[in-house]
Structure 1
Amino acid sequence: MATDYDAPRKTEEELPEDSIEELKTRRNDKNSGKVDEDEVEAAESFELPGADLSHEELTVRVLPRQADEFTCASCFLVKSKTQLAETRGQEMYCVDCV
């Protein structure tokens, strides 16, 4: 919420003095409008237009390891040899993990 810092401020006399009972009822009123909703149930009922992919089949082609690639021993991502920072025995580590 934006605040106008140039606006005149209210003095102590202008601020309303609320009793503790009034404050408690206001707090209860604010919470009464909240609805408990199951996130999973809400996600299942929400559908994007044209999002029915049940008849689709996923095909993935796995390429063999290339000569200029390595798999980081820490993050397990395949990286280019230019990202190689350190080798400890047989294990190679990328610049992001060192």
Structure 2
Amino acid sequence: MATDYDAPRKNEEDQSEESIEELKARRHDKNSGKVDEDETEAAESFELPGADLSHEELSVEVKPKQEDEFTCMSCFLVHHRSQLANEKKMICRDCD
């Protein structure tokens, strides 16, 4: 946004009055297209921290290391060989 440094400056009261009027105008525009949402339905999709997940089971499939991959010894992420920065230290370009 360009600033006109030659324009007269406004005091804080003028700025706050204009901003309140602008906010009121925007509020009416935003609420006109708002869709009502069922609060209970939306709340059911959220999980609270500390929820009991003992009945949940996690299954992970570990795939073998590919020929064109390496594990960075700094960040321990698996990268493609093209990201290798230091072959002796086995460090990726992001960590180098």
TM-score, length-scaled by structure 2: 0.46
Larger radius of gyration: 1
